[in-house]
Amino acid sequence: MKKTLTGLKPSGELTLGSLIGAIKQMKDYQEDYDSYLFVPDLHAITVPQDPKELKERIRKNVGLYLACGIDPKRNTIYLQSENLYHANLSWVLECTTYMGEASRMTQYKDKTSKGENVSVGLFTYPILMAADIILYDADYVPVGIDQKQHVELARDIATRFNNKYGNTFKIPEPLIPKTGAKIMDLQAPTKKMSKSADNYKGTILLLDPPETAKKKIMSAVTDSDNLVKYDPINKPGISNLLTIYSSLKEIPITEVEKHFQDYNYGSLKKEVAEVVATTLTTIQKKYQEIINSNIINEVLDAGREKTTKLAEAKLKEVYHKIGLER
């Protein structure tokens, strides 16, 4: 059975973008793949975090995975920081990655171009991400479009290692959703909806009260044409709303466009807001049942045990090939 693997870093509360870009894909694939879904908590500390909040968010992430329909019987769910082999392999890969290729990563360039004081970890995290993926020989990595470049780096690193030391790693492929590869900020629809956005009105959190989420949709920035059309370049705000509707209702965007063609922007927003609120209500009901139960610990214990064994074997093979043994 082919393997899928992805993770959502607990650097903030999970958003509608996290759901549509990553979790939903994992849910759709879970029947047919051996699925690995982890909490990349080591990635979260590439930017400053409050320890108490981080601890809470790690648990919330797992609670939300399950509440969004991730089946623990079909998925291996684990915390990156509980498995020491991720960071070990990452070091080996860092030593086989060139400064030039790491410097080309656009997320790093974006952060540094704003003149922010960034950590070395933010520069090297795509290499840790490569380790996360190839440690388990994942075939497919469901990600939003913004992470495609990092999966390509993982492919390059794995290919180089295989060429130099013999076949060791599977070469992973990114899986980008057809619709919803990039959900945009509701207040700045040319920017990605992000957990760490400055303007909370632009981001829908999966744990937002449904009424709050509705208000955010109703005040989404659009344009002055009053013409409902899917055109991400010229009408990013409207196109974003159509994309959200299309993903959540699982209806192709062309049909969604047709459905709304005679609507004005107010009534379009109202219908999108309803769908978002219904989605959040369903997720939050399940989340409340899960978050205070023992299921999270049970799932994580099983995940840690399984992945530690697999990762240990892979790292041993790597160490053997590069000469790190007595």
* Among positions 192, 216, 269, 314, the unique one binding ligand AQP when judged by CB under 6 A: 192
CB of 128 to ligand AQP, least distance (A): 12
Quick check: 28 binds ligand AQP (CB under 6 A)?
Answer: no
Distance in angstroms (rounded) separating the CA atoms of residues 190 and 183? 10
In the residue annotation, 286 being an active-site residue is answered as no
Which residues touch 262 (CB under 8 Å, ≥6 apart)?
A: none
DSSP 32-51: TSEEEEEE-HHHHTTS---H
Please identify the residue of the shown chain whose CB is closest to the bound ligand AQP: 21
Among 244, 252, 284, CA closest to 268: 244
Closer by beta carbon to ligand AQP, 97 or else 147: 147
Kindly give the interhelix angle for 148-165 and 120-134, rounded to the nearest 10 degrees: 70
* Among positions 3, 5, 13, 17, the unique one binding ligand AQP when judged by CB under 6 A: 17
Which residues touch 98 (CB under 8 Å, ≥6 apart)?
A: none
List the catalytic residue out of 27, 192, 216, 314. Answer: 192
Quick check: 187 binds ligand AQP (CB under 6 A)?
Answer: no
In the residue annotation, 215 being an active-site residue is answered as no
The two structure tokens encoding residue 16: 């509608």
The sheet with strand 173-175 has its strands ordered as 75-79, 34-39, 3-7, 140-142, 173-175
List the catalytic residue out of 195, 214, 216, 269. Answer: 195
Give the interface segment with ligand AQP, choosing from 28-36, 178-186, 261-269, 310-318 (CB under 6 A): 178-186
* Among positions 77, 193, 248, 315, the unique one binding ligand AQP when judged by CB under 6 A: 193
List the catalytic residue out of 3, 111, 214, 314. Answer: 111
* Binding footprint of ligand AQP on the chain (CB under 6 A): 8-9, 11-12, 15, 17-18, 20-22, 40, 143-144, 146-147, 181-183, 192-196
Q: Which residues are known catalytic residues?
A: 111, 192, 195
